[in-house]
Amino acid sequence: MIFHASPGIIDLGINIDHVATLRNARGTTYPDPIAAALLAEEAGADLITLHLREDRRHIKDADVRALRPQLRTRMNLECAVTQEMLDIACDIGPQDVCLVPERRQEVTTEGGLDVVGGFAKVQAACKQLADAGIRVSLFIDPDAAQIEAAAAAGAPVIELHTGRYAEATDDAELRAELVRIETAVEEGIRWGVRVNAGHGLHYTNVQPIAAIAGIHELNIGHAVVAHAVFAGWQNAVREMKAIMVASRLSSTTPAAAHPGVPV
């Protein structure tokens, strides 16, 4: 089996933010994140993820607008729950928008969106995006209350924040976080939402997450960009997809069907 061409087993979303970070470090026009996205598609990426932050620290508005008509797969646009960002998303029309928390002083996204605490705002954002024909995803911690709130807010998709799992410092903590994610996946399925995951995943910790049958999609960026320095960009994408698919296929957990869960 050609693992990087195995649709329907588990999807790989390649995040191109840090290609843009490298470009912006010198204020040049290269490396081009759009070229990186198109090459990633050729190498087996099932979708392209990019985060248009309020401070535009990596991806720029022009990147999103230029990339949208060129993609052959899907665009998953990450953005904060602000009116400016929602209006930009509705204007560009990506297939998916993932709503994320955002603080200007953070190096990267530090946790999940608090849907419980900001329910009315998130619910309104979900409706605006849905009315524009955009599928909405909420980036949340693997927490039962947040999952219930996400479903109630009208989000058909959740993306579980895997940061605590990725940052675990010993086997006991790692196992506890993995169980937490597995439980959250089952909770998401119970509420009838599609479950994705991501954040901090790399070539040696992605296997247990990719093996969880209820997860449809993993979004990975920094690790692939870093690995590409040594392995080459398309090889790095192919290797990650192969690891994910092999982990799912070798999982002892049967890939049971989940009626009513959106694909």
Indicate whether 64 belongs to any domain. no
Q: Could you report the per-residue pLDDT of 50-107, keeping only the tens digit for each?
A: 999 999 999 999 999 999 999 999 999 999 999 999 999 999 999 999 999 987 665 5
What pLDDT score was predicted for residue 213?
95
Range of the domain at 242: 78-249
| pLDDT greater than 80 at residue 258 | no
pLDDT confidence of residue 7: 55
Is 222 marked as a binding-site residue?
yes
In a domain, 136, yes or no: yes
37 in a domain, yes or no? no
Residue numbers annotated as active site: 51, 78, 199
Question: Does residue 47 sit within a domain?
Answer: no
Cα separation, 141 vs 184, whole angstroms: 9
- Residue 192 in marked binding region: no
Tell me if 21 is assigned to some domain: no
From residue 70, give the alpha-carbon distance in Å to each of 63, 162, 166, 219: 11, 30, 32, 20
Percent of the chain with pLDDT over 70: 90
- For the segment 30-56, the average pLDDT, to the nearest whole number, is 98
For residue 21, say whether it is annotated as part of any ligand binding site: no
| 57 found inside a domain | no
- With respect to residue 51, please indicate whether it lies within any of the assigned structural domains: no
Q: What is the CATH number of the domain that holds 90?
A: 3.20.20.70
Domain count, the chain: 1
Q: Are strands 11-15 and 47-51 parallel, antiparallel or unpaired?
A: parallel
Cα–Cα distances (Å) from 14 to 50, 122, 148, 222, 224, in that order, read: 8, 25, 27, 9, 8
- What pTM did the predictor assign? 0.92
Residue 4 known to bind ligand: no
Establish if 173 belongs to a structural domain.
yes
